[in-house]
Chain A
Amino acid sequence: MNLVDKTSSELQDLIHKEEVSIAEITKQAFERIEKLDPKVDAFLAMNKEQATKQAEEMDQTPLAERGPLFGLPIGVKDNIVTEGIETTASSRILEGFNPIYNATVVEKLKAAGMITVGKLNMDEFAMGSSNENSYYKNTKNPWNLETVPGGSSGGSAAAVAAGEVPFTLGSDTGGSIRQPAAFCGVVGMKPTYGRVSRFGLIAYASSLDQIGPITRTVKDNALLLEAISGHDERDSTSANIEVPNFAEALTGDIKGLRIGVPKEYFAEGVGEAAKQAVREALAVLEEKGATWEEISLPHSKYALATYYLLASSEASSNLSRFDGIRYGYRTEKAGNLLEFYMNTRSEGFGDEVKRRIMLGTYALSSGYYDAYYKKAQKVRTLIKKDFDDAFEKFDVIIGPTTPTPAFKIGEKVDDPLTMYANDILTIPVNLAGVPAISIPCGFENGLPLGLQIIGKYFDEETIYRVADVFEKATDFHKQTPQIWEGAAQ
């Protein structure tokens, strides 16, 4: 039986009718990964032996004790620590690192009965928009193997798009879930800052980082977010707020919904196809009873500069922990301790990571602190206020996720500013801390385009409701890349 196009509820239905076992689902996931991953290169460390054993044991659990995600396979981004499974954040400096504990989200996946099949490639330490900054491999976009999958959660988005696994976790600091989800034609949610515990997420920029789910459908995404959300005493920034039943929010009813459409998201630099796809999406939502109005988020154009100053500053501090002493890569060439630190870090980090560490060190150094770091913190206040003002009148804000679809591998790799411009439409969301999703809404030259739906603080429910209405009214999410043909079991 071909399981690859099934949703979680369809899979559970088959399990309950005893037409398929958890062991068989797990086996098929690994077979598909072994067949497709030599082309897609989404996975790093695999967990086959453990997962196979776990699946067989789980088949013995009584049906009444199982939740909606029980026994289903998931891949985890490689900056989320997994006990006993190598975790590198795609950096040489963590080569061979074998975590001695699980991230809170990994414990929550276990509690939901999900089976971790392996770790997913990313831009080193989540810094990048193309997966080309991985020390280990370049993940390819399943829709066109010559293009990038986006980043930094490129492996997580590509693995779902290729049908290797139905669920993955990514992390989003400036667009790192939504941009690859858009490029790969899948559903990716960045939850409200504080919704999901960051304990065990290898920190890049702590005031912006957030873990979130990537899936093929909105409902599966809602189920996975519910499973990983919640307050955690080991993350003092996790919010002590009740976790709703997100799937119940998918009522299909958006009558009276007020949508704000920022004119800045349709500015110069945003491609015509991306704009047109959003206009058509708005027409679909209008037909379902929503209304929309053009609005302004006047400080949008300052978001990119603000983000790179703040994220790099936080990164320069967070990444100072990598010194080669207690774990990870160690230089062979050092006469004294200072040389040991300097050589370990130079040999262990890639160029983009070094650039951001240096930019952050510079922005935080005396004489520049007020001009760069503090200035950026103040502009962050203005960007956040843009959203606060807009959400007084509107329920959601909608625009494109990215200015263009996926670009060619190698096209922007040594031009940081052009690469950064990919994230102009996703970055403001992280600075404000609000939640946002990307869902498929069209194609340009055979490559997917993403629709971004931004919501109020802790109102992922409305985002999911709108996304679900759009998904049910369209068939973009049902289209699959050519790589699927001939790969089916």
Chain B
Amino acid sequence: MAKMTKEEVIEVAHLARLAITDEEAVHFADQLEAITNAMELLNELDTENVEPTTHVLQMVNVLREDKSVPGLDRELVLKNVKEHEAGQVKVPTILE
């Protein structure tokens, strides 16, 4: 049985870009431990010679002609942007 620690949860949350408090990490650790333990049921099965399924249907590469088409109108694209200036999206400082 895998044990899920608070520290592991904080690390996973960081990888997923989620800020969580210590208290939340403890709560999620308990729940995620219960869930991953339930998932270990799969280890009963020998899947040594089984191919993984990514998609249920036969997938074929879809190609199109390499021809340029007009993109979306700039004003429309910025419609849902909270802060923008001169047609550019504003974000917090990324370089100190």
Contact = CB atoms under 8 A, between A and B. Distances in A.
Nearest to B44: A302
B80 A335 contact: no
Contacts of B96: 336
A17 interface: no
Contacts of A380: 52-53
A378 B52 contact: yes
B92 A207 contact: no
Contacts of B77: 100
Residue of B44, B52, B62, B96 contacting most chain A CB atoms (<10 Å): B52
Given A98-B79, A236-B62, A306-B42, A326 B50 contact: no
A316 B9 CA distance: 15
B3 to A, nearest CB: 13
A89 B24 CA distance: 24
B92 A237 contact: no
Interface string B1-44: 00000001100111111111000000010011011101111111
A30 interface: no
Contacts, number: 155
A463 to B, nearest CB: 17
Contacts of A302: 41-42, 44-45
A377 B39 CA distance: 13
A349 interface: yes
Interface residues of B, number: 51
Nearest to A377: B52
Contact of B12 (A308, A327, A362, A382): A362
B57 A239 contact: yes
Contact of B89 (A236, A326, A358): A326
Contacts of B66: none
B23 to A, nearest CB: 13
Contacts of B12: 358, 361-362, 365
A472 to B, nearest CB: 32
Interface stretch (A115-123, A183-191, A281-289, A339-347): A339-347
B67 interface: no
A306 B38 CA distance: 10
Contact of B42 (A305, A320, A359, A365): A305
B50 A416 contact: no
A303 B68 CA distance: 44
Contact of B53 (A237, A325, A362, A381): A381
B50 A417 contact: no
B29 to A, nearest CB: 10
A384 B56 CA distance: 8
A379 B55 contact: no
Given A326-B81, A343-B19, A355-B32, A381 B52 contact: yes
B72 A100 contact: yes
A419 B13 CA distance: 23
A375 B46 CA distance: 10
Contact of B91 (A301, A337, A342): A337
A358 B9 contact: yes
B95 to A, nearest CB: 9
A33 interface: no
Interface of B: 8-9, 12-20, 28, 31-32, 34-36, 38-45, 47, 50-57, 59, 62, 64, 72, 76-77, 79-83, 89, 91-94, 96
Given A355-B32, A362-B32, A365-B15, 4 more contacts: A193-B57, A301-B41, A302-B41, A433-B57
Nearest 7 pairs between A and B by C-beta? Answer: A433-B56, A377-B52, A327-B80, A378-B47, A342-B19, A346-B19, A380-B53
14 contacts: A100-B77, A302-B45, A323-B17, A325-B81, A326-B81, A337-B94, A342-B14, A354-B13, A354-B18, A365-B12, A375-B43, A382-B50, A416-B31, A416-B34
